Chain A
Amino acid sequence: MSGASEDMSAATYKIHDESHTIGNALRWMIMKNPKVEFCGYSVPHPSENFIHVRIQMYDHLSSLTALLTALDDLDALCSTIDTAYRSSLQNDIYERWEEKS
């Protein structure tokens, strides 16, 4: 979007068909990167189905790289939770009960 610096070290991205679900999780993961100076997201209007993600980097690094790394890390996080959940479901001892519908 407009407002990006020439070297893409600071830029705002518009992601269509996404909301707080991805916005907040992605913002958190980008902020976990020590090369990131600032990251924030917004839903500019509740009736328009897109989000803005602003990333500003230290040392003129590329914000696209940071975005890409964050997406990869988020994917790895999802896999880790999935594995942990499945192993708990299989191996843990937990209460089983019958619920009437």
Chain B
Amino acid sequence: MSQPEFDARQLVGVKAERVTNISSTDYPGHYPNEDHAWSLSKFTTNLKVQVKRLSNRSIDFDIVGVDASIANAFRRIMIAEVPTVAIEHVYIFNNTSIIQDEVLAHRLGLVPLNVDPAPIEPRLSAGDATDRNTIVFKVNIKCERKADAPKDATEPEDLYINHEFLSRHLIWEPAGEQGLMFADNPPAPTNLNIVLAKLRPGQEIEMDLHAVKGVGKDHAKFSPVATASYRILPHIKILKSIPPQLAEKFQRCFAPGVIRVNPVSKEVSVDPVGVRNDTVSREVLRHPEFEGYVELSRVRNWFLFNVESEGPYVPERILPEAIMVMKSKIAQIRAGVEALISGPGDGDVVMKNI
């Protein structure tokens, strides 16, 4: 198996000190007598989406055959516009810990919750909390000395009760229909062992927390992902065979697993699977003995996505959610355009529910 061949137009050249052929040119009118108009059937045949790796926390998948603008739209939506639920309002009745109220409130906001945002409605202002738009947690924790602590104990866990305020101490208070709605998956932090404050005897924290639905562009705490990123597929073209005495040096210029060297003939080839992991460090271009032997590039329309979920969504659900968000944005703009076509013609349309 060797690397697939790519059309020169598909390759973004990676030279020693510059990157060439950056912009995509697949537009109608760019090349004479070539058809680059949008065609859904062509797109569907050329599109390849492949899941590569899946864990309980992250997913790797390839999207091949789309423009960077589309891949980037999905990446941006995954980070900033897929909704989640996070703590937004913190009502502190008592806080005698050494963490200041505002710092503690900020920390609480960043705790990822396991609440599925789909049935939750967005809450418009702080006043109108209902069981449809707000999830309430209560915290009531007090640190005390353990009466039966051994005399020679030095560790806080031996000496005190509740010496740490952890995310597991957020107690959900069901309101209205919520008891039924979340019966199989009661709201709680996804990680129960996050240390939010340390306490010593006599210190206590009592507060109410209101969690609401929001999006990452409003505050990063609402982002459903730890990271969502893509790389474009590296491509290495060996122009003429590498001299056997330089084979190992050539191999060492790339990330491990990218270049194969035949142990007997010292013949050099590119590993078609391993090439994904190349960092395109351009090390090989620094060595004058390899000049003219190799051409580095990246495949313009081949996107290697990596998404790490952090919150209520399982990793494989984040892209479909992002696509749903994209479609609803399109539908909203479409409604605006239609109103503009049929409207009074003053060129201004105000859409509701935005």
Contact = CB atoms under 8 A, between A and B. Distances in A.
A27 B51 contact: no
A101 B69 CA distance: 33
Interface string A9-25: 00000011111111011
B206 to A, nearest CB: 29
Contacts of B52: 94-95
Contacts of A82: 320, 323
B53 A94 contact: yes
Contact of A32 (B36, B51, B74, B354): B36
A68 to B, nearest CB: 5
B181 interface: no
Interface in A66-101: 67-68, 71-82, 84-89, 92, 94-99, 101
Interface in B100-127: none
Interface stretch (B56-64, B84-92, B233-241, B279-287): B56-64
A29 interface: yes
Interface stretch (B172-180, B257-265, B329-337): B329-337
B60 to A, nearest CB: 8
Contacts, number: 137
Contacts of B337: 64, 67-68, 71
A34 interface: yes
Point out which of B50, B320, B326 has the most chain A C-beta atoms below 10 A from its C-beta.
Answer: B326
Majority SS at the chain A contact face: helix
B66 interface: yes
A68 B331 CA distance: 10
A33 B73 contact: no
Nearest to A20: B76
A84 B28 contact: no
The contact size tier of chain B is 35 or more
A33 B40 CA distance: 12
Interface string B36-80: 111010011001111111111110010100110110111011001
B191 interface: yes
Contact of B53 (A4, A87, A88, A97): A97
Contacts of B43: 77, 80
Given A77-B43, A80-B44, A81-B66, A18 B73 contact: no
A43 interface: no
A61 interface: no
Contact of A33 (B37, B58, B70, B191): B37
B128 interface: no
A33 B38 contact: yes
Nearest to A68: B337
A19 B280 CA distance: 31
Nearest to B190: A101
Nearest to B193: A101
A63 to B, nearest CB: 10
5 contacts: A77-B66, A78-B327, A79-B327, A85-B51, A94-B53
5 closest pairs, A vs B, by CB? Answer: A32-B38, A34-B28, A84-B49, A99-B57, A24-B69
